Structure formats: C-alpha cells, structure tokens
Structure 1
Amino acid sequence: MRHCLAATLALFAPGLTLADAAAQPRRDSLTIGLSQYPGNFHPNIENMAAKAYLLGFALRPITAYDADWQQGCLACTRLPSLENGQAVLETTPDGRPGIRVTWELRALNWGDGTPVTAEDMRFAWEAGRAFETGFGPAETYRSAYEFSSDDPRRFTIRFDKVTFDYAGLGQFQPLPARIERPRWEADRAGYRTRSAYETETANPALWNGPYRIAAVQPGAGVTLERNAHWIGPAPAFDRIAIRTVENTAALEAQLLAGQIDMVAGELGLPLEQVVALERRAGARFRFAYNPGLTYEHIDLNLDNPLLADRRVRQALLLAADRAQIVARLYGGRQEVAAGAVHPRDAGYDPDTPAWPFDPARAAALLEEAGWRPGPDGVRRNAAGDRLAFELMTTAGNRSREQVQQILAGMWKAIGVEARIRNEPPRVFFGETVSRRRFTGGALFAWVSSPENVPRSTFHSDEIPRAERNWSGQNYTGYRDAGVDALIEALPLELDAAKRRPLWARLQRRIATDLPALPLWHRSDAHVWPLWLDGVRPTGHQNYSSLWVTEWRAR
C-alpha cells in the first residue's frame, strides 16, 4: 500500500505533469548481466555466488544478514533469542550443553499456491542429516539432532552445541517436501543430480520468493517471472532476465549496447574495468563501489608434495607484490588481505602476520626448504623435481587472468614456475574445485557473512571426499588439530569479548601455515541504469537480490 501511494504522489510532483507521466515508458522488465552461471540450482547443495544471487529472487531463506550486517528474519516472524523465549538452553540426552530453538514461519507460498510449512523444513533437515546426500555445511545438520513441529507454521530444532549464531539458519532452507522427498528416498546419493531443481528447474512449485524461475538456458541465462502466489510487497518488474556472459569484455559491450540494463556488482565486471567504464560513460549509468566480505585468494592443494611445505607457501606470498597489483590494476581501491577476516569484521585481529613483499626472504626460504636454482631458471630439489605447478581460475575474467600473469612473472623471479590453465566458471567451480581436481593453485573469491567461523574452509572434517558426496569446502585439504580445536571452540563462546582472543589465535595460525594465499578484500563495483532505484548492496553473501521487492523503476 505504501508503494502504491508513493507512485500516485509522484504523478503530481513539482515539474511533472500528467502528460509527462503518461509519456514515461512502463518498465515491466529488467535484464541483469552476470559473469558466471550456477553449477546447480539446489539451494542446500554447494554454495556458489552466481547461484546465491539468482536464487535471492526466487527463494526466501529463514534468516539473512541485511545491508547493515544485522541478522534478521526473511521467512520467519521474529528472530529467536534467549530473551524472547524462542531459544532455550538445555542439556542434551547425553549430558552436553545444548539449545532448543523455535522459528515461526511467515505466510509463504510455493509457486503453485501450496503453503510453505514446517514439513518442508523437516525434509530439508532429514536430507541434510543423511550425509551421503551431500548437503553443506555438514556441521549444521550434524549438530541439529532433533526436529519437531506442533503447527504447520512452527518448527523446533534441538542442537547439541550452544553457538553464538544459534538464531540463524544460513544455507539450511525449506524444500518442497511433496516434490523432493520421493526423489531423495529413491536415490539418496544420486539426489544432487536427480533433484527437481536440476531436472525440472522451471517447475513453479520449487520457488517461494517474489519471483520464480520460468525458463533456463543452460550456461547462458535464466528468466524469472513474478510468483503469482507471493505474499508480500509486489516487485516492480513482471520479468527479470539474468544473462550470463563469462567474458567480461563482452559483458561490458552488451551493457553499452543496451542488451542488458545493469551488471550485478556481486558477480559482474572487475573493479578496474568499472572504473575505466565510469571515466568513459559516467553519464549513462549509476556507479557504486561497495567494500565488503569478498575475499580474493588462491587455494593451494596441499596434497601436492611441492606445496606441502609451508616454507614454499610462505615464499610464494612473500614474492607476490600484492600492494603493487592493487595499485596498478585497481587504483588502490582494494585492500590487501592478511587473511579471510575483513578489517571491518568484529573478529578481525590487526596483529595477524601480513607477509609484505620481500623477494630476498622468499628466496632464502626456498633455499632452506632445499630448492636450488636449476639450469632453466626453475628451482629443483635433491630428487630433481622442478618447482612448478598449475595456477587456475575462471576463464574469461580479464582481471583474474591479468593477476595470474603478474603473479607468474613475480614467482618466476624467485625460480618458481606457475603454468596457467583456466576453465569456464561452471566447470571450474562445479567440478574442478569442488572435487579437488586442481593440482596446484585455484584463484577465486570467498564471500562470507559477518563474523563467519571458517569451519567449512579450514576444518579437516570439511575436506570434500566421495563418501560425503563432495560436501565441504576445505578444498586445500588443510589438516591441523589446533585449528580444528579453535574452530570448534569459537562458536561456543557467546560473549563477543571472549571470542576475540580465539579469533586472534585462529587468524595467526592460519596466516602462518598459509593453506591459501590471501590477496585482497574486494570492493564490488555495481553498474545500474539511471532509472533504477532501491538496490542496496550488502557486501556479504546475502546478496541484494534478496530485497528485490525494494527495487523500483523511475
């Protein structure tokens, strides 16, 4: 009702006549450009940025962090807390401290008009608890040992751990049980490819957001149409087209040609490309630069004997002049990272080892590790092995490909060979990285929520493997008992002040071992049409698409 009133008043705004208003074109569609295509469409399997952005239009998670980095309800009526009684401390049946948390669902409908109920959450819980299904993060489901419901709109989960983020459910989303349960029961291990989200993606009954996926062009794009059974503020557009253009130069060309209306900053053009575009075409679009929790880095496969010695990993980081790369490619707009935790985050430790550019120290570390210069300039060990490995990233991303070339040159200067081999994002993320098929380094970004404990990326139990159907995101294969203990202790500390020393110890330990090479914290570069209002970048993994009902066309 508020939106309708605002639109009516706008017709009589100073300087705008009824004739002018009538002349304004009605914008009933929006075309958005992305640089990646989702590896799959199932909300509870794998966490990929392209999928998270797209599904933000079509699904409602129970809870999410907003643009102010505050957790709140999207599909629930209010956030559970110990104070309001929806969270209750208790003892588990085996005598451990536990917590019982109750959520009440808002009125939501699937796209066929069927209400979203607690039974849809029950099925998601059951499938997640069966670890052969491959849901992630596995620890959430492992800890959620009991599910109960006494009302179609209310459900309770009992956890065997009391964590500071107990009120949020993150990637644990409702699934339409009447559609998905039979498929899951028929083949649990094969469910990730037999799910209706993969085989019937345009089925309206899979979607409960303001939009539903109406058509899919594999690898090329997705068409979203209004969910006729959506209960909530009406979205502005009848249709949203998501167009995937993996080559960022081609993506920019389509924007300038008017084939797409906007480029999503969450996963669109590299920052330096947008800066250059603003200089050339600043009057044609609106530009916004939003620093946030996107962390560019290189995962190293620690099962590769050449990379198993942390002195080699330390040398690689010392030989990478990250400050120079940021200055040359990004005009100083990115912040060099000491690790995955952003300086704005509550858990950040300013004393984390930073490894500034020092090629002499890098060479000394390689000498200490037994790597001597070879006749071709590449170092060799006593067994004659060359210090050479593959460096992979997403093909077509001009910025990352430039970074690869620069890093390869810097590493060559200390006697290390980086062989560049890239793949399309859907292959790189869907197969190579997620199944740990890369043999050397994988350059990509993680996007996290505020004060996100990095269990899925650094705990040894989260190393993807076949028997878990490749769930988990510890792609490096990092194993450290001390890090595991800190990751397990951190969520259990409810007092924020007492968490800080745990955060400091964790960051310092990972920054010393360097299973992944930190590069920089990214600033997302958004490009919007002049006529679009209401998009609020969040700077974290709950993307702006979740609040599409606030978007308006002028």
Structure 2
Amino acid sequence: MPQLLAATVQGRFPARLPAAGALLTALTLTATACTSGAASPPSETGTNLPVREGGSLVVGAEQEPDCADWIGTCGASVWGTYLMQTETVPQVFDVRLKGENWTPVASNLMASEPTTKLVGKQQQITYRLNPKAVWSDGKPITSADLKYTALQIRDGKAVFDKSGYDRITSVDTPDSTTAVVTLKSPYGNWKQLFSAGYGVLPSHLLRGKDRNAVMKDGYTFSGGPWKIASWKKGVSITLVPNDRYWGAKPHLDKVTFQFASDTSAATQAFASGQFDALYPTPQLTTVDQIKALGSAARMQVQAQTGNLQALWLNNAKFPFDSAAVRKAFAYSVDREAIVKRLFGSYGVTAPAQSFQSPLVSRYASTDFSGYKPDTAKAEQLMKADGWAKNASGFWAKNGKEAAFTVTSLAGNQSRELTEQILQSQLAKAGFRVTIKNSTPANIFGKLAPAGDFQLGLWNITDSFPNPTLSATFSSTAIPGAANNQSGINFMRIRVAGLDPVLERVDTELDDTARITQSRRAEKLIADDVPSLPLAAVPNILVTGKRVGGPLSINPVEGPWWNLEDWGLAK
C-alpha cells in the first residue's frame, strides 16, 4: 500500500500512501548513493555500538498522526506507522535488505513461509502461524485474527485502501494456526496482505466493537516488542516494552517521541541534548546545522527511498480538467531547478521521471523526461485549447484566468520554498498561482479525499517493494459511494485505457510480465500528465552519542523498525 506525507518524506497508505506525505537501497549502516547519480551528501557512517540494559531515550518526531486506527482513513500519516504501528502490530512479512534489494521475508509471526497457488482462476494463500506468538494479554495470535482483519478491510467503510483485500472471496480457518485466504483473481502484491500498511489485529479484543473508537487515540494491546504507554495529544507518544513479546525484548525501559514540527527547532533541541535522535525532513539548512554539531551527531542519508514528491493536479477541477493545460503546466515547470535547490546538498540533483519510487525502480520507466521548460510548446498547447493572454499576462479563456491554488503543509520550509519557486516560474508562463497551506489532518482527512483542492504538493510513499500505481491512478480508487469513500486517487484521474493495464500489473504473478505492464502504464500516464513527479526524497537519520545499537533506516518500516535493538551506548 502507498502512504501519504504532506510535509515530510513520510505518509502512509497501504501500497502507496500520501504523506503529509514518504526511501533507499544501499548499505544498512552507511549513507547511500542517491538515485540521481550525483555524489553522496555529507554524512557519516552508522555504527553498531554495544548497549546496556535499561534507561530511556527521547526522540524528536516531526509529525503527529491524526489517529491510530490503521485501517481507517484517519490513519493515513506514515508517521503513525513509524511511531506506533511498526512497534506494536504484528505482520506476516517484514521488509529486509537482502543484497542490494529490499525484499519481503516471512516474519517471526509465521511458523513457515506463506504459500500460494492458483486454483482455477482463483489464488489461494495459506498462512501458518507461529504457536509461540501471543498478544500482550497472553492470548494466542490466531487465524481468527487474520480473518477479522481481512474482513474489516474488505467490508469496512472509510478504509484507507482496499487493494488486494477487495479480491478476497473467503478466509477459512481450519485450525487456530492456519488461515487459507482465497482471492477471486490473482494478486501480484499478495505478500503485502497482513503486512506493511495494516498487519494483523486482535479479533478477541475488537470483534463486535467500534474498531475506530477503540484504536484511534492509541490502544493498550500489542503483538510487537513495544506497547503504547501514553499518547499525550500535541505533546508526545511513549512506548514501553511488551513483556509478553515472544521475540527479542527491548533493551530500553522507555522511548518517548516528542512532537517537534519545526525542523530547525528540533535540530537545536538535539544540539542541546533534549533529543537523542531525529528523523528530519531534508530542509535547506538541515545538512549545515547537523555538520555544525561535529562528532555530537551521526547522520545517515538513504536515497533508495519509497518517498516520491510530486505536484498532484486535480483532474476534475478547473483548469486542470483540460489535458492541454496539464501538459502546458508540465512544460512550464523547471523541475530540475527546484530539485537542485531543495535537495542538491543531499546529492539529489535530477528530477524524478516516473511515479515509481526508487524502492520499486525496476518497474519504472523515464517517460516524464520529455517534460522540460519549453515556452513554445506550452504556448502552442494553450492557444490550441482556446486560451489567450490577457492584459495582465495571464492565460484566460471564456472570461476565466488560468488561476489555481497550491496546497501543502503549513509551516514546512521546504514545501513553502517549492511553492514560491513554482509561483514565480508559472507566473512567467502565464499561470496565476495562490498559496494556501493547511495541516496534514485537514489535507488528507478532508480536502484531498473530497477533491477540494486544485494543485497539491505532497509525497507519496511506497510501503512495500511492489508496484502499486493502481492505488493512485486507477479510476476505481477515486473516493466515492461506489467504494465506500476508500481509495487515494484524490486527483480524480481517469486516463483512457489505463485501468486494464494497471489491473494486469496487479494480477500478474510473473515479475517480468509485471515490469512490462508497469512500463506500459507509465507511458499512458506520461502522455496524459494527470500529475507531475518532482523528486525522490532522501531519508535522514540523526543520532547522538548516547544512542547505541544497529542503527539504520528501513524504507518501509521507518528509522525505528528495530527499536528493540536500540539502547544507551555503553
């Protein structure tokens, strides 16, 4: 599933989520070379310092999730995944670095690797659970939990993304440790079911109850190494060890994530010792601020990211309901200048030419590479569509200017600078741009799902190493009555001939064929320009001298994916 980020490089939707907001392949403990081919930014290699038992850490967190109901649309922010879900919700497959690729591997929830086979035209998946796996109340994690989770997603309303789950025809539970899931048609991304995005929830605690009411403000149960001790809204989230976890137990007694939305202020708090670690948005001044701390800060930069920043055009709103305007827009934006200005200090200098993030780059093409600043082409497209420039120098048609509002995260320096650059570039090209920013909760909880925006600037995050363009570009993913207001095609994209190709990508089990179909889909998307990719956004992890353990960034599960291994350095 994708996830969303409005402000940072994180967001959380099942297969590809927007983040108000959303990462890289390379070395686990060193800075990774960026996908642009440029030199890596200034950074230090990570370390695996030995740790002692006990103690606590305070971590600065740039975003507070709207809620902790991971199935509901309110749980869209990937920061919720990073801060609570990864540490408390068990999943069938983890994503781990194998060689140079991030790969799904069966988690310790499983007794064996799940198996799949075709039965006629249907796909049948068998899961066998580890009998040692228990919830924090001591009750076993059973096949009933998989069934409950699957049906909550398939049949629920206001579900963030139903991809894959909407194919389920039945979930059989022949015994407490075996679940057999039958899909009405093959699903190439089947390993993400019950994995990144949703995981597995406890049926014995949630069945018959209002799941959202139980979970949204934090929950007491856990099937991971940590439990949520408290969530003080607007202040912090605190985790403590889950004593009944069957795997490796945490070294620390407590970890507190303190909300600090301003990157510069958070870096200053780190410098003063208030924070032991940060996962900062790559702002213009971040590298210099961290370098100024010298040996007091260890920084890792990851470029093989699942985070893709883009300009999201509402295809159902004026003026982007015109394909000619969308193409003229693409020929009027100097994406390379924006990317160099924003991310050049991190080694990212080339714009993204695909809507596939580096995490799934083997499925990507480069069809957007033809969209470079070209005044002549932009003018030709606009005039052919009936537009003419008025006395103010802006395009106008039938008495209406080519004017629109761009929306992103309020108070985010990087996003605001991007908007200002866009405003200047587009004004010269004849488009009048107004900036009106908001909060992640308002953007992804209200404005975007309702289609109440014209141009959005946010990241989308691939939360699994599989292609999931359909979650964003298929017309069936437009939130509406037909899908119970689920789906993240907030842009109301409808590209002729695209849906069946995306369906092939989703249903094809042969990876070579999936790559072929994925690149076909990207060609159709680039030809229509329903939106415009900007950049793969790097991830940054900063840790202080007090922090020990194997420290690295997981592009799917975040920087705290192995928080149980962290500790106070000896």
Output the TM-score relative to the length of structure 1. 0.86
Q: Is the 8 A contact 1:534 1:552 kept in 2?
A: no
* Residue 434 to residue 256, structure 1, CA distance change in 2 (3 Å): farther
> Does residue 288 of structure 1 match 2:300?
yes
Pairwise CA distance, 1:301: 1.3
| 8 Å CA contact retained: 2:88, 2:223 | yes
Describe how 1:226-305 pairs up with structure 2 within 5 A: 226-264=241-279, 268-291=280-303, 292-305=305-318
**What are the Cα deviations for residues 253-290 of structure 1, in whole angstroms up to 9, with x where unaligned?**
222222211112xxx32253332223322321101110
Structure 2 CA distance, aligned partners of 1:367 and 1:118? 61
Q: Is the 8 A contact 1:320 1:357 kept in 2?
A: yes
Aligned residue runs from structure 1 range 346-495, under 5 A: 346-351=362-367, 353-381=369-397, 383-438=398-453, 440-448=454-462, 449-465=464-480, 468-495=483-510
Q: Cα distance 1:289–1:551, how it changes in 2: closer, same or farther (>3 A)?
A: same
1:141–1:235 CA distance, 2 compared to 1 (3 A): same
Which residue of the other structure, out of 53, 56, 66, is the alignment partner of 1:29? Answer: 56
Provide closer, same or farther for how the CA distance between residues 151 and 428 of structure 1 changes in structure 2, counting only shifts above 3 A: same
Give the drift of 1:232.
0.7
CA distance in structure 2 between the aligned counterparts of 1:219 and 1:500, rounded to whole angstroms: 43
Match of 2:321 in 1: 308
Match in the other structure for 1:15: none
Cα distance in 2, alignment partners of residues 433 and 376 from structure 1: 31
CA change 1:452–1:413 in 2 (3 A) is same
| Alpha-carbon offset, residue 151 of structure 1 | 2.0
Structure index of larger Rg? 1
Give 2:86's aligned residue: 56
Distance 1:88-1:498 versus aligned 2 partners, 3 A rule: closer
Distance 1:245 1:363 in 2: 44
1:98-247 to 2 correspondences below 5 Å: 98-106=122-130, 107-131=132-156, 133-169=157-193, 170=195, 171-184=197-210, 192=212, 194=213, 196-198=214-216, 201=218, 203-205=219-221, 207-247=222-262
**Amino acid of the structure 1 residue aligned with 2:134:** N
- Residues 369, 220 of structure 1: alpha-carbon distance in 2 compared, 3 angstrom cutoff: farther
Secondary structure at 1:331 match in 2: helix
Partner of 1:42 in structure 2? Answer: 69
Counterpart of 2:560 in 1: which secondary structure?
helix
Q: Secondary structure at the match of 2:150?
A: helix
Inter-partner Cα distance in structure 2 for 1:275 and 1:412: 31
Measure how far apart 1:221 and its partner are: 2.3
Is the contact between residue 252 and residue 269 of structure 1 (CA under 8 Å) also seen in structure 2?
no
Deviation at 1:244, TM superposition (A): 1.9
Q: Distance in 2 between matches of 1:317 and 1:306?
A: 13
Partner Cα separation in structure 2 for residue 436 and residue 535 of structure 1: 40
Highest RCO, 1 vs 2 (Cα 8 Å, sep ≥ 6): 2
Secondary structure of 1:242's counterpart equals strand
- Is residue 462–residue 473 contact of structure 1 (8 Å, CA) maintained in 2? yes
Distance 2:561 2:129 in 1: 17
Residue 458 of structure 1, CA deviation: 0.8
**1:340 counterpart residue number:** 355
Question: CA shift at 1:384, angstroms?
Answer: 0.6
Counterpart contact for 1:346–1:451, Cα < 8 Å? no
Which residue matches 1:538? 554
In 2, Cα distance between the equivalents of 1:422 and 1:64?
Answer: 35
- SS at 1:66 equivalent: strand
Name the SS for the 1:499 alignment partner: helix
Farther-moved stretch of structure 1 (404-413 vs 371-380): 371-380
What is the CA distance between 1:396 and its match in structure 2?
A: 1.8
CA contact (8 A) 1:353 1:512 kept: no
CA 1:249–1:432: 2 relative to 1, 3 Å: farther
Q: Deviation at 1:391?
A: 0.3
| Counterpart Cα distance in 2 of 1:250 and 1:426 | 22
Post-superposition offset of 1:122: 1.4
Q: Any conservation in 1 of the 2:331–2:371 contact (CA below 8 Å)?
A: yes
AA in 1 matched with 2:95: Y
Alpha-carbon distance in structure 1 between the residues aligned to 2:530 and 2:367:
19
Contact 1:128 1:134 in 2 (8 A): no
Deviations 1:41-64 (A, max 9, x none): 012224321112121122222213
Give the superposition deviation at 1:466.
5.1
Q: Measure the CA separation in 2 of the matches of 1:25 and 1:538.
A: 24
Note if contact 1:271-1:523 (Cα within 8 Å) is conserved in structure 2. Answer: no
Q: How many angstroms apart in 2 are the aligned matches of 1:154 and 1:356?
A: 54
Which amino acid in structure 1 is aligned with residue 330 of structure 2? L
Identity rate, percent: 23
- The whole-number CA distance in structure 2 between the counterparts of 1:157 and 1:226 is 32
Q: CA RMSD in A?
A: 2.2
For 2:489 and 2:475, locate their aligned partners in 1 and report how far apart those are by CA, in whole Å: 7
Shift of 1:241: 1.0
Instruction: For 2:387, give the aligned amino acid.
Output: W
Q: Does structure 1 residue 89 correspond to structure 2 residue 118?
A: yes
- Does residue 66 of structure 1 match 2:96? yes
Which residue of the partner structure matches residue 13 of structure 2? none
* Cα deviation digits, residues 74-124 of structure 1 (max 9, x gap): 2323332xxxxx322202xxxxx1121111223332222222211121111
State the Cα distance separating 1:352 from its structure 2 match: 5.1
TM-score (norm 2): 0.83
Larger helix percent: 1
1:27 deviates by 6.0
Indicate how the Cα distance of structure 1 residues 25 and 120 shifts in structure 2: closer, same or farther if over 3 A, else same: closer
Query: Is 1:271–1:525's contact at 8 Å kept on the other side of the alignment?
Result: no
- Structure-2 separation of matches of 1:354 and 1:526: 34
Q: Is the 8 A contact 1:60 1:546 kept in 2?
A: no
Does the C-alpha gap of structure 1 residues 124 and 25 become closer, same or farther in structure 2, counting only changes over 3 Å?
Answer: closer
Question: Secondary structure at 1:243's aligned position in 2?
Answer: strand
SS in 1 for 2:562: helix
Which whole-Å deviations, capped at 9, do the CAs of 1:415-469 have from their partners, x for residues lacking one? 111110111222222222233322x111110111223221211111111125644
Secondary structure, counterpart of 1:336 in structure 2: coil
- The secondary structure found in structure 1 opposite 2:191 is coil
Q: Tell me the SS of whatever aligns to 2:325.
A: helix
Identify the match of residue 110 of structure 2 among 76, 79, 95.
76
